[in-house]
Structure 1
């Protein structure tokens, strides 16, 4: 085989690899949610804001601090080569506190078919105050899908 034929084969192989890798989706994660083991350390009715901060930290810029609760939010996005990014998963951990700053509820929410679903709940009270806020937080998922569909 001539040297030119070897170079052509090499270039074809490199181009084929580049084309195949361009079609591979890229997954990005935004935000932070505490690990389940860390959440197990939080005792409902005993721990306070300061002990929760020591165990898992305060929510950062991607989470939310509300008067009565801390929300940790993590989203997963799938990026295809020629399509708009698609949010494929969102999880929220909500830790609510009573007026004395003691942990009242520890809840973990996710999305299933665009609906908010409680994945785990440790509650001292049957009244869930933060659900309407979570519906607003998860509610923009449909908007993202509508925007994505407009570009496809």
Structure 2
């Protein structure tokens, strides 16, 4: 009776160690979570610069995030977060599709941005020409100061 009792305990101990080992390995497996929605490239290809806001709503749908003023522009955002054990979750992928509209609610720009090494990069864009394209705020400000004519400000004519 003593021998079979020891064998039974050893089997239980082995089962307990195996369960603890499996639980610890499972706890170290990464968990991925996806948040948000970004339309596919095929869906974006159905929209052209100049199409109406209603066309965008019909083809892609209105986003949950919009511009701050009035009807505003459309922003579709998707992110992927990786959590590994007790470590802090880390965002490993983010994509943003920005569709901006002109004053007549026509599509003006369609841009897709991504996240690479913590920096936002433009993946692709369909942009109409603009005088402020690819200029920083500081460059625009300095350009306006250079074009400043004091005689216009003072009301004198030449």
**TM-score with structure 1 length normalisation?**
0.73
Q: Is the 8 A contact 1:105 1:124 kept in 2?
A: yes
Determine which structure has greater relative contact order: mean sequence separation of CA pairs < 8 Å that are 6+ residues apart, divided by chain length.
Answer: 1
**Unpaired segments of 5 or more residues in structure 1?**
133-152
Question: Using a 3 Å threshold, how does the CA distance of structure 1 residues 43 and 10 change in structure 2: closer, same or farther?
Answer: same
Match of 2:125 in 1: 121
- The alpha carbon displacement at 1:68 in A equals 3.9
Match of 1:23 in 2: 28
Q: Is the 8 A contact 2:78 2:94 kept in 1?
A: yes
- The alpha carbon displacement at 1:128 in A equals 4.6
Please state whether the residue corresponding to 2:25 is helix, strand or coil. helix
Give the root-mean-square deviation of aligned CA atoms. 2.3
**Unpaired segments of 5 or more residues in structure 2?**
138-158
**TM-score with structure 2 length normalisation?**
0.71
Q: How does 1:73-92 map to 2 (within 5 A)?
A: 73-92=77-96
Would you say 1:48 and 2:79 are equivalent positions? Answer: no
Structure-1 separation of matches of 2:100 and 2:18? 56
Moved more, 66-75 or 85-94: 66-75
Match of 2:63 in 1: 59
Structure with greater Cα Rg: 2
Structure-1 separation of matches of 2:55 and 2:12? 64
Structure-2 separation of matches of 1:18 and 1:70? 44
Please state whether the residue corresponding to 2:47 is helix, strand or coil. coil
Structure-1 separation of matches of 2:95 and 2:126? 16
Q: How does 1:6-17 map to 2 (within 5 A)?
A: 6-17=11-22
Question: Using a 3 Å threshold, how does the CA distance of structure 1 residues 28 and 128 change in structure 2: closer, same or farther?
Answer: farther
Match of 2:140 in 1: none
Number of equivalenced pairs: 128
